Amino acid sequence: MTRPLRSARWFGGHDLAGFIHRATLHAEGISRTALAGRPVIGICNSWSELVNCNLHFRGLAESVKRGVLLAGGVPLEFPTISLGENLMKPTSMLFRNLMAMDVEESIRAYPLDAVVLLGGCDKTVPAQLMGAASADVPAIMVTGGPAEPAVFRGRQLGAGTDLWHYADELRAGRMTRSEFDELEAAATPTVGHCNEMGTASSMTSVVEALGMCLSGTASIPAVDAARHRAAEATGRRAVELAVDGPRPSEVLTPAAFDNAITLLMALGGATNVVLHLLALAGRVGVPLSLVRFDELSRRTPVIANVRPSGEHLVEQLHHAGGVAALLKELAPLLDLTAPTVEGQALGELVERASVHDRDVILPLESPLAAEGGIAVLRGSLAPDGAIVKQSAATPALMRHRGPALVFEDVYDVQARIDEPALPVTPETVLVLRNSGPRGGPGMPEWGAIPVPKKLLRAGVTDVVRVSDARMSGTASGTVVLHVAPEAYAGGPLRAVRDGDPILLDVAARRLDLDVPEPEVRRRLEEVGPPTPRYARGWGALYADHVLQADTGCDLDFLRARPGEPAETEPYGLLSGWVGGW
């Protein structure tokens, strides 16, 4: 059904308000004729010189504009804050919700009929989706694409996965500092996000499964000309969305989230995506919980042979047929009637895809692993849940009992982890706390605690690690994450002491502290509440309103409230008098 243009309420009036609105764009060289009856397409650009993953977005924006113009629309590019995983401290996750607010209010406040979202680095993609979902103006995404693989000593590198390996080699004394410097010089040869199935590649793949981008575009390499052609096609489609929809709320259905989770599990994708999907579902009122993630994981095999769970990189996945081919292989497990921004059901789109390399995309009946990449745990140490990336864990450690060695925060880890006298054995469970949503603050990617140097030099490559932090999607190991409630919110993790027995049983989905519950309560009362991390500004607002990991770490007041009308228009839009004159 054709919708009236939202922008006409700004530009269509023959009054003072219309005069000022049109005159504002006349100053940019846009004529009244150009505005008359044409859809205005916003290009939400997260370009920044502080975010190398998104550094090529100026060029992508120009390609989007070309598509908008070809389809008869008016493109207007606008910036928002940009989140860079490597340079932002303490973590870009602290600012995901702030960026989502920036995106939402920019879309709502301006005369936009549809929006093209340009995102790539880990948190820019979910932040843009969350903001666009809350504004509920028609939106479509162009992701930035993976960087070209680095080559070090004849081997293609995964941006983070191989770095963690070589960092351990350096700490163990099996790699020299000059060799590590050689690795640094080779590590990042092009723009684009991480080129293995880390958080960025996992999240951009999930965008395609959600139906929020053009089919076949998620895995195109950042430097490939095909990405610019995809951006142009996205601009053309955005003009059609402005007229006929659908809106994000019409695409982001329960079926879409089930499809996205199924893909995530089949990819052996990043644990961070669990948080982002929970938060996004909360924005559109879809009742999604960790229970559903585990239900879908149990029925979904890992069939993408991509690092860190497999061997290849995302570029090889693209050449093997991309996300669309993977979705076609997963068809028996998907709801193929789910709508997409292309105006077709998901099943219609993936039907035309083909698998070109069976070493990269495996058949359902011959998977890398029988269950999905992520398992959800519960127990006395994680009453509200925790997760583990079982596809990248050590099988022998998936059922384990060992004594805790507790680190109070990441600085404690840095100070002690490589001490020769550290009281640690291969059976020890390394515990990190005060690193969750409030405690980090922002839930930094500190969960993959380094294996102590003492053990590395003895040939031990993995130990069980437990924390309320996150972990880079590029990392691997037997690492239990997102323990909820976090220590800073009074969770049982705050009561753990050195030597306490911890039981991990992934098959049984259990994570338990073998300490009597009355003793845990006594310890929590003894230590008392922690000191807030911030007294003012964004940090204080965030700490007062952030939700726990099991609901996605959004701010409580940003979630959809059932029964309340959506705030789709700015207050005072139809006023005949405009202030400022």
Q: Is the dihedral of CA 488, 491, 495, 498 positive or negative?
A: negative
Strand 479-484 to 501-505 pairing: unpaired
User: What is the DSSP secondary-structure string of 326-387?
Assistant: HHHHTGGGS-TT-B-TTSSBHHHHHTT-----TTTB--TTS-SBSS-SEEEEEETTEEEEEE
The answer on 344 and 462 residing in a single domain is: no
- The per-residue pLDDT of the chain, averaged, comes to 95
Q: Which of 409, 326, 324 is nearest to 368 (CA)?
A: 326
Taking only the tens place, the pLDDT of each residue in 15-59 is: 999 999 999 999 999 999 999 899 999 999 999 999 999 999 999
Q: What is the dihedral of CA 291, 388, 311, 372, to 10 degrees?
A: -20
**Residue 201 placed within a domain:** yes
Taking only the tens place, the pLDDT of each residue in 308-355 is: 999 999 999 999 999 999 999 999 999 999 999 999 999 999 999 999
**Residue 171 placed within a domain:** no
Whether residue 339 contacts residue 251, with contact meaning beta carbons closer than 8 Å, is answered with: yes
Q: Count Cβ atoms within 10 A of the Cβ of residue 314 and give its class: 0-12 exposed, 13-18 middle, 19 or more buried.
A: buried
What's the pLDDT at 565? Answer: 62
Is the predicted pLDDT of residue 256 greater than 80, yes or no? yes
**Residue 124 placed within a domain:** yes
The answer on 401 and 335 residing in a single domain is: no
CA–CA separation, 123 and 96 (whole Å): 6
**Residue 383 placed within a domain:** yes
Q: Which residues contact 152 (CB under 8 A, 6 or more apart)?
A: 162, 182, 183, 186, 187
The answer on 438 and 402 residing in a single domain is: yes
Q: Which domain holds residue 473?
A: 374-527
Whether residue 453 contacts residue 167, with contact meaning beta carbons closer than 8 Å, is answered with: no
Residue 154 Rama label (left phi>0; alpha psi -120 to 50; beta):
left
The answer on 241 and 115 residing in a single domain is: yes
Number of domains composing the chain? 2
The answer on 379 and 338 residing in a single domain is: no
The answer on 381 and 491 residing in a single domain is: yes
**Residue 49 placed within a domain:** yes
**Residue 283 placed within a domain:** yes
The answer on 233 and 379 residing in a single domain is: no
Whether residue 197 contacts residue 267, with contact meaning beta carbons closer than 8 Å, is answered with: yes
Residue 576: pLDDT band (50, 70, 90) is very low
The answer on 399 and 260 residing in a single domain is: no
The answer on 492 and 427 residing in a single domain is: yes
Reading the block at residue 384, the tokens are 């509200």
Mean pLDDT, residues 237-249: 97
Q: Kindly list the distances between the CA atom of residue 172 and the CA atoms of 153, 429, 478, in Å, as whole numbers in the listed order.
A: 20, 20, 19
- Comparing 145-159, 385-399, 489-503, which segment has the lowest mean pLDDT? 145-159
Whether residue 264 contacts residue 304, with contact meaning beta carbons closer than 8 Å, is answered with: no
**Residue 403 placed within a domain:** yes
Among candidate residues 316, 350, 384, the one where a domain is terminated: 350
Please report, for the domain that includes residue 386, its CATH number.
3.50.30.80
Taking only the tens place, the pLDDT of each residue in 142-197 is: 999 999 998 998 889 888 888 898 999 999 999 999 999 999 998 999 999 999 99
Please report, for the domain that includes residue 217, its CATH number.
3.40.50.2300
Residue keyed to tokens 């995404």: 141
Residue 450 gets which letter from DSSP? P
Q: What is the dihedral of CA 107, 110, 115, 119, to 10 degrees?
A: -50
**Residue 573 placed within a domain:** no
